[in-house]
Amino acid sequence: MRLALAERPHRIAPKFFYDAAGSALFDRICELPEYYPTRTELALLGRHAGEMAALIGPQADVVEFGAGSATKIRLLLSALDRPRRFVPIDISAEHLHAAARALQRDHPGLAVQPLAADFTKPFTLPAPAGPAGARRVGFFPGSSIGNFAHGEALTFLRQAAMLLRGGGLLVGVDLVKDPSVLHAAYNDAAGVTAAFNRNLLVRANHELGTDFDPAQFAHYAFYEPRLQRIEMHLVSRRAQTVRLAGEPFVLAEGETLHTENSHKFTVDGFRRLARQAGFEPGPVWCDERQHFSVHWLQA
Ligand code: AVJ
């Protein structure tokens, strides 16, 4: 975990949200009435799983980037023709292994091989249990790709295109829309997103030995239309000193820790990005409100 207290603006990468407590808070976000992405994407996967499975083809070797509770893959797995293996990758090891065990129970014939890893760094897939050479298919739902800056998204997609060569990537992408809908999704009435954001401070206190008082930071999430992204910050409510490894850092009143960017895309903008990364963009599924999209990209 790296917390940029010595740099300005202060930043922390969003992957650090996902310790056990953060992953559980994220699961609660997915259930919030204001947080449309999860339920919209689940509906798309449910409605079009047959078409998606036909594009993926039989006996696929499926890799999921950031599997979390592995809820969405279930819709796809039940439509797939004899999938060979499922490799869920997640940075949150405990959460991942619990999800993998539950999935294995429900799919006894499938080789479930969880990999606790940071998929933004180079990793190697475990060797397949059965015969090699199955068609590799990536699954990257939830618009997690939105956490990347443009250049990082390109790098990730380029690496994915190489890993999945001959197969493809099924990726969920949140769309540019009315800012009020976006604002509500990241500023829920129950305050779960605020707790998720502040959990970073709790985690830093546990793991880095900082002495943050989470109550002294306000959750601040807003849509920046020119950059087509939600920004999340933690705003210092007053001038305060935080200690990291004995070293004091002064935060001015109103100074922020930038904790997340969540980029939104247009369908065409995302297809351009995918093409630039070496994919051949295929069919796209959207809900009737055009809130969310799922893309099949041939690798
Ligand atoms: C998991 C990155 C897709 O950006 O919507 C939810 C994370 N942050 N609420 C998103 C998140 C605040 C989520 N992603």
Q: How far is the CA of 11 from the centre of ligand 1 (A)?
A: 16
Q: Pairing between strand 85-90 and 111-112?
A: parallel
Contact between residue 260 and residue 14 where contact means Cβ atoms under 8 Å apart: yes
H or E segment at 155?
A: helix 150-163
Q: What is the DSSP letter of 151?
A: H
Query: Which SS3 state, helix, strand or coil, does residue 296 take?
Result: strand
What span, in angstroms and rounded, lies between the C-alpha atoms of 113 and 142? 21
Q: How far is the CA of 144 from the centre of ligand 1 (A)?
A: 7
- Whole-number pLDDT of residue 180: 98
Q: Which two tokens stand for residue 234?
A: 């933690």
- Whole-number pLDDT of residue 120: 87
Ligand 1 — pocket residues by CB below 6 A? Answer: 29, 37, 142-144, 146-147, 186, 193, 260, 262
What span, in angstroms and rounded, lies between the C-alpha atoms of 293 and 135? 24
Mutate to test the pocket of ligand 1, among 15, 16, 17, 26 (most ligand atoms within 8 A of CB): 26
H or E segment at 286?
A: strand 280-286
Q: How far is the CA of 251 from the centre of ligand 1 (A)?
A: 26
Q: How far is the CA of 262 from the centre of ligand 1 (A)?
A: 7
Q: Pairing between strand 280-286 and 292-298?
A: antiparallel
Relative to the CA of 197, which ligand 1 atom is closest? 12
**Looking at ligand 1, which residue's alpha carbon is closest to its atom 10?**
262
Mutate to test the pocket of ligand 1, among 260, 264, 291 (most ligand atoms within 8 A of CB): 260
Contact between residue 261 and residue 233 where contact means Cβ atoms under 8 Å apart: no
What pTM was estimated for this model as a whole? 0.94
Contact between residue 57 and residue 81 where contact means Cβ atoms under 8 Å apart: yes
What span, in angstroms and rounded, lies between the C-alpha atoms of 295 and 274? 10
Relative to the CA of 230, which ligand 1 atom is closest? 4
What span, in angstroms and rounded, lies between the C-alpha atoms of 281 and 204? 40
ipTM of this complex: 0.99
- Whole-number pLDDT of residue 141: 96
What span, in angstroms and rounded, lies between the C-alpha atoms of 240 and 248? 10
- Whole-number pLDDT of residue 68: 83
Tens place of pLDDT per residue across the chain (299 aa): 778 888 889 999 888 999 999 999 999 999 999 999 999 999 999 999 999 999 999 999 999 999 888 889 999 999 999 999 999 999 889 889 999 999 999 999 899 999 999 998 888 888 876 677 789 999 999 999 999 999 999 999 999 999 999 999 999 999 999 999 999 999 999 999 999 999 999 999 999 999 999 999 999 999 999 999 999 999 999 999 999 988 999 999 999 999 999 999 999 999 999 999 999 999 999 999 999 999 999 99
